[in-house]
């Protein structure tokens, strides 16, 4: 089925070509929703943007487009307004037929992508022996949503956890642990991740202050790199311990991801250096092997170097990402690689991409995208901290969200005089608490910093998970109350009479456009906004139009609108990683 908006766009494009010739093939008709329903549903602004090129008045151009437009099966007669807007209003008949088709479709009118692309989503990616922090939480939540959306469209997605599991820090950590807590280097369960983080800090301090320790640490790195048994074992134990901790968070958030840490690329690092050398891109700079970057200058105005091999012979974060690009394009055959990290790494990725490009390591059709996001801040606008000033642990953050959701729920249960089981309370609080944290993150434009507020994210009103979940529950309540089996309504007609029904219907028909947009632009907040408006439009419809009390055939038609709204919410929320509830 051609989506409603694609259909409009296509018709306008055909009209442009028949009016002005094949040069205009593929021209964007600049279709936007009208800001006032009295002008119709959509307006095409292309006449204005073509005026210069066609050397004519926009109104004349608009007239010519309309004369060539075959659209009467889907729209009322187009109106030209103002300087040359073409106003379009859907025919109710057309909307009814479209909606019926969406209703009958398990994918709710969202087509699968052609071609399906092999896509890597590199997300979450915390560091071993360090705490997973809120930045990683953001990457995890956004990455999961992007992966789900792409998978739903039929892309072949490989979700990769590029954990920081390699580097000189392991030398000092292992050396320190051997002194203070040797069992931590042999037995995975013997040390808590929180302690590891503490040990890491102590190790760093000793490294900076104590020369003998420094030498020992360096030796440990060499041992590790050369694969010496006990160093290797100690490193594995640390990774194992961190991995278990990370997994607890992933389980709570329902995250699916495959670990492929930096160490995976170790065997490929030498080749990065060799090949960059033979390409003539590598130069020596103060003992290090570097590529001088184009468009990045240091404070003296000289080209900035990207260090590929340090003066001590070690490789770094950028070298690993260069090796990963090659491995992912060649071995994994990725057509699109998406990296989800905080905006602070924008330069890192721009530089790595540039070097890979200049080395011709990025095949023509491959797209590398960095998906940056802003910082998570406390309600005071500063870095998120606990009351006593420590960094917030993810576990406690999720715990608190659930505890607060539970408190709200219990209050509601008491107010409404309901009797609910402990199981019910636990399920609902968990779903609402975790869902609220995810939704709060996803509903922000990811590029801005976002203020973490339990009160806001758990509010029943506004652009929040509870509001969305509640709209879904409302529909389930209708089916319970009326003894309706939604799956049995399928053959009836959908009849759109009331303004609120029409508004809801038109919005329901935009799901496909939104999902495709999210997959293309990688902004999950677009989907959140869509679902928020859907809930609002549904609530307006439900406040204005009786459903169970209505007469047939209106009653069944309205039940179908309710059902389709619920199915759309369920699908949309599932792409955000949020499961719906039957009751709450
Ligand atoms: N481990 C890194 C960090 O915590 C994120 C890794 C992102 N992925 C990548 N391919 N560089 O900042």
Q: Look-up: residue for tokens 């508004």?
A: 503
In the chain, residues under CATH classification 1.10.730.10 are 394-575
Ligand 1 centroid – CA 28 distance (Å): 37
As a 3-state breakdown, the chain gives helix, strand, coil percent values, each rounded to 5, of 55, 10, 30
- Mean pLDDT on 181-193: 80
Ligand 1 centroid – CA 127 distance (Å): 8
Paired residues of 127 in beta bridges: 164
**Cβ(158)–Cβ(121) under 8 Å?**
yes
In the chain, residues under CATH classification 3.40.50.620 are 118-158+264-377
Q: Provide the 8-state DSSP code for 78.
A: P
In the chain, residues under CATH classification 3.30.1360.70 are 4-90
- Mean pLDDT on 332-345: 98
Say what the pTM is.
0.94
Q: How many CA atoms lie within 13 A of 144 on its CB side?
A: 23
- Ligand 1 nearest-atom number relative to CA 345: 12
**Atom 5 of ligand 1, nearest CA residue:** 125
**Atom 6 of ligand 1, nearest CA residue:** 125
Does pLDDT of 215 surpass 60? yes
Does pLDDT of 493 surpass 80? yes
Is the distance from the beta carbon of residue 567 to the nearest atom of ligand 1 less than 6 Å? no
- Chain centroid, CA 434 distance in Å: 16
Q: Ligand 1 pocket check: which of 341, 353, 369, 375 to mutate, most ligand atoms within 8 Å of Cβ?
A: 341
- Mean pLDDT on 203-223: 92
Is the distance from the beta carbon of residue 164 to the nearest atom of ligand 1 less than 6 Å? yes
Is the distance from the beta carbon of residue 127 to the nearest atom of ligand 1 less than 6 Å? yes
Q: How many CA atoms lie within 13 A of 560 on its CB side?
A: 23
Closest Cα partner for 120 from 308, 339, 292, 270?
339
Ligand 1 centroid – CA 327 distance (Å): 16
Could you give the CA distance from residue 85 to residue 42 in angstroms, rounded to a whole number?
10
Q: Look-up: residue for tokens 């990402």?
A: 321
- Mean pLDDT on 337-356: 98
Using CA atoms in the order 262, 263, 265, 267, what is the torsion angle rounded to 10 degrees?
160
Closest Cα partner for 195 from 274, 244, 129, 250?
129
DSSP string computed for 138-207:
HHHHHHHHHHHHHHHTT-EEEEEE--B--STHHHHHHHHHHHH-GGGGT-GGGS-HHHHHHHHHHHHHHH
Ligand 1 centroid – CA 284 distance (Å): 26
Does pLDDT of 26 surpass 80? yes
Ligand 1 centroid – CA 529 distance (Å): 29
Encoding tokens for residue 572?
Answer: 């949309």
- Chain centroid, CA 173 distance in Å: 34
Spell 466-477 as b/e; 16+ CB within 10 A means b.
Answer: bbbbbbbbbbbe
Is the distance from the beta carbon of residue 242 to the nearest atom of ligand 1 less than 6 Å? no
Q: Which long-range contacts (CB under 8 A, 24 or more apart) does 309-314 make?
A: 309/273, 311/286, 311/287, 314/168, 314/221
- Ligand 1 nearest-atom number relative to CA 342: 12
118-158+264-377 maps to CATH 3.40.50.300: no
Is the distance from the beta carbon of residue 342 to the nearest atom of ligand 1 less than 6 Å? no
- Ligand 1 nearest-atom number relative to CA 349: 11
Is the distance from the beta carbon of residue 503 to the nearest atom of ligand 1 less than 6 Å? no
In whole numbers, what is the pLDDT of the chain averaged over residues?
Answer: 94
Ligand 1 centroid – CA 357 distance (Å): 20
Confidence at 362, pLDDT banded by 50, 70, 90: very high
Encoding tokens for residue 112?
Answer: 């699968």
**Cβ(253)–Cβ(140) under 8 Å?**
yes
Confidence at 194, pLDDT banded by 50, 70, 90: confident
Ligand 1 centroid – CA 307 distance (Å): 17
Could you give the CA distance from residue 558 to residue 546 in angstroms, rounded to a whole number?
8
- Mean pLDDT on 217-239: 90
- CATH code for residues 394-575: 1.10.730.10
Closest Cα partner for 241 from 159, 173, 175?
173
Given the candidates 1.10.287.610, 3.40.50.880, 3.40.190.10, 3.30.1360.70, the CATH classification of the domain at 4-90 is 3.30.1360.70
Packing angle of the helix pair 394-415, 422-442 (nearest 10 deg): 120
Q: Look-up: residue for tokens 């960095």?
A: 370
**Cβ(234)–Cβ(186) under 8 Å?**
yes
Is the distance from the beta carbon of residue 351 to the nearest atom of ligand 1 less than 6 Å? no
- Mean pLDDT on 54-72: 95
Task: Give pLDDT, residue 11.
Answer: 94
Q: Look-up: residue for tokens 């992933």?
A: 250
**Cβ(568)–Cβ(537) under 8 Å?**
no
Q: Look-up: residue for tokens 């048994």?
A: 229
Is the distance from the beta carbon of residue 321 to the nearest atom of ligand 1 less than 6 Å? yes
**Cβ(524)–Cβ(442) under 8 Å?**
yes
Q: Ligand 1 pocket check: which of 121, 125, 355 to mutate, most ligand atoms within 8 Å of Cβ?
A: 125
Model pLDDT for residues 68-95, shown as the tens digit of each residue: 999 999 999 999 999 999 999 999 999 9
């Amino acid at each position: 089925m051609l989506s409603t908006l694609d259909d409009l766009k296509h018709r306008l494009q055909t009209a442009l070509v028949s009016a002005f010739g094949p040069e205009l093939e593929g021209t964007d008709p600049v279709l936007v929703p009208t800001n006032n329903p009295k002008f119709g549903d959509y307006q095409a602004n292309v006449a204005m943007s073509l005026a210069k090129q066609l050397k004519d008045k926009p109104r004349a151009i608009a007239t010519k487009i309309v004369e060539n437009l075959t659209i009467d099966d889907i729209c009322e007669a187009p109106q030209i307004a103002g300087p040359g807007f073409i106003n379009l209003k859907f025919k109710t008949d057309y909307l009814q037929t479209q909606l019926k088709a969406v209703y009958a479709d398990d994918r709710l009118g969202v087509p699968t992508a052609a071609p399906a692309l092999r896509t890597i989503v590199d997300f979450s990616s915390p560091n071993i022996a360090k705490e997973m922090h809120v930045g990683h939480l953001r990457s995890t939540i956004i990455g999961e949503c992007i992966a789900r959306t792409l998978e739903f469209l039929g892309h072949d997605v490989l979700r990769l956890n590029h954990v920081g599991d390699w580097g000189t820090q392991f030398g000092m950590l292992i050396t320190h642990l051997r002194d203070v807590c040797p069992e931590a280097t042999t037995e995975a369960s013997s040390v808590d991740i929180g302690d590891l983080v503490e040990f890491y800090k102590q190790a760093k301090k000793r490294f900076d202050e104590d020369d003998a320790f420094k030498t020992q640490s360096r030796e440990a790195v060499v041992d590790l790199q050369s694969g010496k048994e006990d160093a290797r074992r100690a490193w594995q134990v640390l990774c194992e311990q961190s991995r278990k901790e990370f997994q607890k968070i992933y389980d709570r958030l329902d995250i699916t991801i495959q670990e492929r840490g930096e160490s995976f690329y170790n065997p490929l690092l030498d080749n990065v250096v060799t090949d960059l050398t033979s390409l003539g891109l590598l130069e020596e700079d103060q003992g290090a092997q570097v590529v001088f970057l184009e468009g990045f200058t240091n404070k003296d105005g000289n080209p900035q170097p990207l260090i590929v091999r340090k003066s001590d012979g070690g490789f770094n974060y950028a070298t690993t990402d260069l090796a990963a690009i090659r491995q992912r394009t060649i071995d994994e055959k990725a057509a699109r690689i998406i990296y989800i990290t905080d905006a602070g790494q924008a330069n890192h990725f721009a530089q790595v991409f540039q070097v890979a490009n200049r080395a011709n390591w990025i095949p023509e059709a491959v797209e590398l995208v960095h998906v940056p996001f802003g910082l998570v801040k406390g309600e005071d606008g500063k870095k998120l901290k606990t009351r006593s000033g420590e960094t917030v642990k993810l576990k406690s953050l999720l715990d608190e969200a659930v505890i607060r959701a539970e408190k709200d729920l219990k209050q509601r249960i008491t107010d409404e005089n309901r009797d609910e089981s402990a199981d019910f309370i636990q399920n609902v609080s968990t779903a609402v608490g975790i869902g609220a944290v995810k939704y709060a993150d996803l509903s922000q434009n990811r590029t801005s910093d976002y203020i973490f507020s339990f009160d806001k994210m758990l509010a029943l009103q506004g652009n929040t998970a509870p509001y969305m979940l509640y709209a879904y529950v409302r529909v389930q309540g209708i089916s319970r109350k009326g003894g309706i089996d939604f799956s049995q309504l399928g053959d009836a007609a959908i009849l759109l009479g009331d303004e609120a029904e029409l508004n809801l219907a038109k919005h329901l028909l935009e799901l496909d456009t939104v999902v495709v947009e999210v997959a293309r632009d990688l902004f999950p907040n677009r989907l959140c906004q869509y679902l928020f408006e859907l809930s609002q439009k549904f609530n307006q419809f439900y406040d204005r139009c009786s459903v169970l009390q209505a007469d047939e055939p209106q009653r069944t038609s309205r039940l179908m609108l309710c059902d389709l709204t619920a199915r759309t919410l369920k699908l949309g929320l599932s792409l955000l990683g949020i499961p719906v509830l039957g009751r709450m």
